Amino acid sequence: MRQLLRRAASWAVSVAQALAVWFIATTFLVEPFRIWPTGSMKRTLLVNDFLFVNKLLYGAEVPFTHARTPPLREPAHGEIVVFKSIEEPGLRLVKRLVGLPGDTLAMEAGALRRNGVVVPEPYAVHTGTSHHESSAVLAKIRAWQLSHYVGADREHYAPDVNHWGPVVVPRDSLFFLGDNRDESYDGRYYGFVPRENVLGHPFVVYFSFDDESWRPLPFMTAVRWNRLLTSPD
């Protein structure tokens, strides 16, 4: 009986240690993240890509506090970032960082300008889909942009998703766009994201499968083998 209790106690300690290591690792170091059904980052990231996110790079959140660990460095232009939505608490988004504090941003016919210069964006996808947003959506876009607008005619400023600005990114804020520009609900609609909402940088695709091939075909044929262990950029 004593031997059985010792084994049970040893097993419980091993499980507790494993859980502690898992909790520390996923809280401060690396966390798995899945791309749910949204094409906003397509071709760079696909639906049902499973990613490992580096949380240490930009500073990880300390649970149950507002504190963060010191970042190894700050986010940079062009990086893919996972962050908390400013509209839906609990929702995590992944987009590309295109604007840092102090940047002046504008878009002309879908082409992004930063500080007066057109940004080369080989990753951006333009499908040519025409956008006809409702007046309510356009009013929402104008409302968040107006207080940051630095153009000449504020009174008649009428932005849309592919033609807006110039606006200046405020302090401690970032601006994100999806790579699939014509199919992305991104910063053009909801505005700037606080720096504190940043969660991490996805650095590797550890698993991926084709949703359309998943049910009718065997498991192995649905796996996107060519994406495994690749780095999104």
Name the residue with higher pLDDT: 39 or 102. 102
- Give the count of beta carbons closer than 10 Å to the beta carbon of residue 166: 19
Domain segments of the chain as ranges: 29-227
pLDDT at res. 60: 84
- Express as a percent the part of the chain with pLDDT over 90: 59
The domain covering 29-227 belongs, at the CATH homologous superfamily level, to Umud Fragment, subunit A (2.10.109.10)
pLDDT at res. 166: 98
Burial of 178 (0-12, 13-18, 19+ CB in 10 A): buried
Return the sign of the alpha-carbon dihedral for residues 52, 60, 21, 93.
negative
Contact 79, 57 (CB under 8 A): no
Q: Give me the mean pLDDT over the 51-78 stretch.
A: 88
Name the residue with higher pLDDT: 47 or 28. 47
From residue 12, alpha-carbon distances to 9, 22, 25, 26, 102 in Å are: 5, 15, 20, 21, 53
Q: Give me the mean pLDDT over the 106-124 stretch.
A: 96
Q: Identify whether 166 is preceded by a cis peptide bond (ω within 30 of 0).
A: yes
Nearest to 46, CA basis, from 161, 177, 178, 220: 178
Name the residue with higher pLDDT: 22 or 83. 83
Lowest mean per-residue pLDDT among 57-66, 96-105, 142-151, 206-215: 206-215
Confidence of residue 129 (pLDDT cuts 50, 70, 90): low
Confidence of residue 4 (pLDDT cuts 50, 70, 90): low
- Give the count of beta carbons closer than 10 Å to the beta carbon of residue 226: 7
Instruction: Reply yes or no on whether the pLDDT at 68 is more than 90.
Output: no
Per-residue tokens: 62 = 């300390």
Q: What are phi and psi of 202, to 5 degrees?
A: -70, 125
Catalytic residues: 40, 95
Nearest to 177, CA basis, from 166, 188, 167: 188
Q: Give me the mean pLDDT over the 81-89 stretch.
A: 93
pLDDT at res. 66: 75
**What tens digit of pLDDT does each residue of 188-207 get?**
999 999 999 999 999 999 99
Q: Identify whether 96 is preceded by a cis peptide bond (ω within 30 of 0).
A: no
Write down the residue that tokens 């876009």 correspond to: 141
**What tens digit of pLDDT does each residue of 149-203 get?**
999 899 999 999 999 999 999 999 999 999 999 999 999 999 999 999 999 999 9
